[in-house]
Structure 1
Amino acid sequence: MKKRLSTIMSKLKFQQGKSLGLLLVIVIILIFAGGVGLSVTSSNSFCITCHEMQPEHLTYKVTSHAQFSCTTCHLTPGVGSYIESKVKVMGYIGKHITGNYKGPIVASEPIPNQVCEKCHSTMRKVTASGDINIPHEKHLEHDIACTACHGGVAHAFVAERGLTTQENSATWTLAKAEEVSKFDDTKTAMEACMDCHEQVNQGLKPWEENQGLGKTEAQRVAERQASEKQAKDGNGELPGAVQAIAKAGTSELTAPMRCAPCHLKIQTPVNHVDKSWSNTHGITAAQDIKWCAECHSRQRDRVLITAQTTVQDYARSNTLCAPCHEKRPTGHLENKQQWLPTHGNVVKDKGAQNCLVCHETEKATDQNNQKMPGVNAVTCNTCHWFKNGKVETPQ
């Protein structure tokens, strides 16, 4: 049977055109006519016949999934799915012979959850590291695909990371596969969780638009590259104030944006435990905002933080800071008649910098350092007049 297939393949290479369609039909008939053919096309050796599949094959070989055949994951249970897969195989053969395939090679749809559930329990809550507590059942009840979070476990996202171009296909070895399949390259990026949770809190269901995947790895890679380019070409300007929490009535679902609901072990810095931290953390942030950003910033924001990034700008654009900083202090809302005549004393006691977190008077907006009005419509100069709009704490 294999010899017959080999002969047909050789003829196909030299007889493209009108005869190609006929010969492909013959191949289909021969394969489906013999049980041996069906078995051959379900084997791993058949899957790696084409050099285009070497990156996928080698990255799979260095994972725990190597103990299973390709079809264990890539073939949905059922006779209908089995027959459909064989028809697709014929299409793959034709594209390989004619060179009419487009890279990178990616699955046309996510692996169905029922395939993963053949081996993995849906009741699992804690990861192997013991640190992450994920309620899988809450995700599954909304038909979120397992691969939305675990898409890189077998192939390390090599296609999405741009590592499988035709130009570098010949460079793939088992050693290279091990190098690109390290834990950080295969695990679920926290950015994936944050992206999805943020959209859920805005009333969206991103997995419905991307076949259960939420924002895909390819989309995240593209966004990271765009952020890196923006940081390189611009002045590191952070995005404007974020809507960090869902407002009443905008979403039927809520998803956590803080660390504690998902992380069981969080090493909290000593100064965070101090009772006065809520009042003094802004002073620490002003000294080194990058230190805060190591834990409290989204990946896209960390890329953009530069020496010119102000702590006020950071507080308004950060998903952790914004829920507090977007709220007016209690004293502003209660007894306004008392607050207005006394707020000057607060400025004397605490300094104007606290006010400027919200009441920013001016802001650099471009590479030429052009000044524009601050983000808050109510500033000191709304009622007072300060030279050049600069507010200084009275001595």
Structure 2
Amino acid sequence: MFHNPGCEHPINCSSFKVGYVKAEGPNDTLHYLWDFTQKPSILVAAAPAGSNLTISWSQFKAGNNKSIMFSEEPVYSFGIVLDRIWEYNDVNDSGLMDRKNKNSSYVRALDMENFNWTLSDFANESMDTVDLKVESSSFTSKNSNALISGSIRFVLSAFSFRDHFGELPHLLHSANSTQVDLVLDKLKTNSSFSNSRFALEVLIASSDKVNSTASIVSQKSLDDEYSPGVFTLVHLQTPMAELGKGGYLQWRPVAYVAKERDISYSTETSSYGVTNVKNRNARLNHTLLYAYYCSHLDNLLVQSTIVSFGLKEDGFYKKTNYTSWTFVVGYGTPPNEDFSLLVIFVISIGLGLPALLIIISGIVVAVRRISQKKDDLFLNR
């Protein structure tokens, strides 16, 4: 894990908040860039094996074109920007956000660019796992100078192995993915909103063609072994993901309203499909993705999606003043959940034992009938 890789004086490197993880494979190299200099951004680039990253920090600071470069052209690149936190007044207690309602009495946007992000030291930094913890406890709107109290925290985790994460919702990760935990803790809600809920807007950019589209797919499961009470896995995937060479977001439609992650402290999430971003250069300006794609944005796939947190009759955000949500950003095909050996064993017993009893019962009945026929034949003699 590298912090501001290659940044040296005379540039003031302390103003940059970029983390870099490089995953070397036998056939390719995955480059992960995490940036909290302004809007939180993640870039994933799959490049030929042995490729290296170069950042022109003076150009990056100025927001100029191609300040991020690779020694060999990536086969595929994909990134996200955590663009805005939306607060909406759910007066009807539906749990859903009306995306068409832009009235200030219903919704307000908290632009991530206006948060002051602080990076803590990297945790669990080893060959297997790297965590980056980021927090902001202040927000100042450039338009209204409004101050938002409370904190927003992120934990970004990279792994060198495939497994389920230790905490709920136990998402499946691999060396091809980054896990992101979002926590909204004691955020001061709009005083004019009686029933505040929050939602996250995510911008997606990839090297796919501009006229293509990402898709959101919900996958049902009969097994809730890893996430009790949750039988759905949601994928947002780019067009190339089906061929194993695209990008994806993956999550379970569940959020938690207390630090203790338990089914009793859970609520639902809702997703609203993907839409095209019209003013893409303005929306992505001063982000990691703009620093990499910049002048090519008009020829690339750039879309947005929103995920809201809350369920009808769950008491709104004010009940606990806490919400956490976890998702995975990855390269390739979204991983599918498989039954564990324990579940297979339990299912085998559950199905096999009754079947065995039926077979044994059938044999006993057949033997008794044969015995009765023999007895009847003996009596008749």
TM-score of the two chains, using structure 2 as the length reference: 0.22
More helix by percentage: 1
More strand by percentage: 2
Bigger relative CO (Cα 8 Å, ≥ 6 apart) = 2
For the pair shown, which has the larger CA radius of gyration, 1 or 2?
1
TM-score of the two chains, using structure 1 as the length reference: 0.22
